[in-house]
Amino acid sequence: MSHQLVKVLKFGGSSVGSEASLQRVVHIIQGETAACRPVVVVSALSGVTNLLVDLVESSDPESIVGQLAKRHIDMADSVLDQRRKYTYLRHLESILEELRAACTPKNRADRADFILACGELMSAPLVAGLLTQVGVVAQAIDARTLVRTESGFVDREQTRNLIQSWFANLSRFVVPIVTGFVASNEHGETTILGRGGSDYTASLFAEGVGAAKLDRWTDVDGLYTADPNRVKGAGKFLFLLLEDASTWNESSALGMHVEAFQPVLEACIPVHVRSTRFPQGDGTLILPRFLPHRIEKDARAQLAHAGHHTTIAPNRESYSAH
Ligand code: ASP
Ligand code: MG
């Protein structure tokens, strides 16, 4: 078996929120399959989680469910062929049915987490269907079977073990499309990781599958000192230390889920923040202070495979000799 680098690719809501953007995502994943073994994590279509938040409180749930149905059916209409659309719509219908049952006045307080989780449960099979249609063997994965929470927090050890054994048994020819944000507790009930939680999911999967890198694809080409759309002269970070990014993020400076960097930080996995609108851009590379030997070996093998024999970093022996 040839050596294959595993990479986690995470796509946020705006990346999967329009037909044009979805096509760019497919193109990116297709390109990656040539060079590595991707594990994909997706958010809900943009705006969908906000609608679901409204749904939990709404006095007119049917109108919101109708909007959600239309949004996904329209998207399926525009990107899927007849056969995939048929499969996807059947899946969509079963989720919408469960959603309707969950948002009755009697049930919805207890089932709020399930209601919020539906965005990702509806997006992952759509992305998987589209990829399969263009010849990538893709499979939607419901992360509720792999991410375990207890009393509102992720049980990191159980989650790591679940992801590891799932991945060990997954055919390397299958590209998994994992639902971000969603989890389940020890009673088998659906739970969620908190807003922006797909980044945390991606980080947990990067750790669990032993990824050499996590590419976080969004609609801004990197991390900035302030919101570039609002603050004139905001500067872009080309590089950040993972340790710094994690600390800043914990004090909400980077606006990601508060625990998003924990798993990748502990596993020393580089993160690359990139834009689906401008994939040729540099983005922001977030590097651990030290590259663990495992990742360095992967990178060397990858370069050797591509015919490069340049030294990419001082090797450990010569490094420690100084
Ligand atoms: N869809 C969820 C949210 O909007 C999770 C995510 O996008 O990361 O918060
Ligand atoms: Mg989102």
Summarised one tens digit per residue, pLDDT across range 216-259 is 999 989 998 888 888 898 889 999 999 999 999 998 778 889 99
Any ligand 1 atom below 6 A from CB of 119 = yes
- Tell me the residue range of the domain where 251 lies: 6-306
Residue 316 lies in a domain: no
Residue 322 lies in a domain: no
Reply yes or no on whether the pLDDT at 311 is more than 50: no
**If you take atom 6 of ligand 1, which residue's CA is the nearest one?**
196
Confidence at residue 258, expressed as pLDDT on a 0 to 100 scale? 93
CA within 13 Å, CB half, 95 = 26
Per the structure, the count of domains in the chain is: 1
Summarised one tens digit per residue, pLDDT across range 15-53 is 999 999 999 999 999 999 999 999 999 999 999 999 999
Summarised one tens digit per residue, pLDDT across range 185-213 is 999 999 999 999 999 999 999 999 999 99
Contact between 180 and 202 under an 8 Å Cβ cutoff? The reply is yes
Contact between 274 and 212 under an 8 Å Cβ cutoff? The reply is no
Structure tokens at 71: 């949004």
The residue whose CB lies within 8 Å of the most ligand 1 atoms, and thus the one to mutate among 51, 195, 217, is 195
Contact between 193 and 203 under an 8 Å Cβ cutoff? The reply is no
Any ligand 1 atom below 6 A from CB of 195 = yes
Residue 154 lies in a domain: yes
Any ligand 1 atom below 6 A from CB of 17 = no
HEC profile for 201-245?
HHHHHHHHHCCCEEEEEECCCCCECCCCCCCCCCCECCEEEHHHH
Residue 311 lies in a domain: no
Confidence at residue 294, expressed as pLDDT on a 0 to 100 scale? 67
Q: What is the number of the ligand closest to the CA of 194?
A: 1
DSSP state of 312: -
Structure tokens at 285: 């590379």
Query: What CATH number did the domain enclosing 194 receive?
Result: 3.40.1160.10
Residue 83 lies in a domain: yes
Residue 315 lies in a domain: no
Distance CA 92, CA 102 (A): 15
Q: What is the number of the ligand closest to the CA of 216?
A: 1
